[in-house]
Amino acid sequence: MTDKSVARKMLEIELKVRVNSLDPIRQNLENRHAEFRGKQHEHDIYYNAPHRDFGSTDEALRVRYTDSHALVTYKGKKLREYGLKAREELNTAVESGEVFEQILARLGFTKTAEVNKWRENYRLGNTSFALDLVDGLGTFVEIEIIAQNDDADATNQIQRYAKEMGICGEPILASYLELIQSTR
């Protein structure tokens, strides 16, 4: 018996904008009855591989610690055809982030940076909203859809929500890691 299912690439498509205050966006989300999914501290530790430079290949590998768990994430090269920040994202929870970090160290991976942020999560339908306060950077809003393969409607939906909620400003295509590194 052969498995004829086709693996579908999951893409994270997002709009990230720096904002002066999170209060009006929070109020707009509450007025629209967005589902509040909690507030948490996220401590992200980024790694570089011994066999290639993720800064050059536009990839990322991170271990994220939250109040309740550890998550390992691989992010692929940014895809420019969506007009917003889009990239493949693979996530998996790990029982112990500390043990996973020891494994990475034993394999020759090196820590490159740490990012601390406090994030409020909201959801409207298939769209996630993150209200972020990032150490050393300030306040940001991210509107994100996880799309399968090339969901062309995701970009339009994100831009529509941004306009409706008064989220304006230049889209930031850089990750928080890249923004932190650019301040050094």
One-letter amino acid at 152 equals A
Query: CA–CA separation, 74 vs 19, rounded Å?
Result: 27
Contact 78, 95 (CB under 8 A): no
Query: CA–CA separation, 160 vs 95, rounded Å?
Result: 38
Which residues are paired to 23 by β-bridges? Answer: none
125: left (phi over 0), alpha (psi -120 to 50) or beta: left
User: Do strands 85-94 and 110-124 pair parallel, antiparallel, or not at all (unpaired)?
Assistant: unpaired
CB neighbour list of residue 109: distance below 8 Å, 6 or more residues apart:
47, 48, 49, 50, 61
- Annotation marks residue 47 as catalytic: no
Question: Which candidate, 51, 16, 7, 10, places its Cα nearest to that of 144?
Answer: 16
Q: Which residues belong to the active site? A: 46
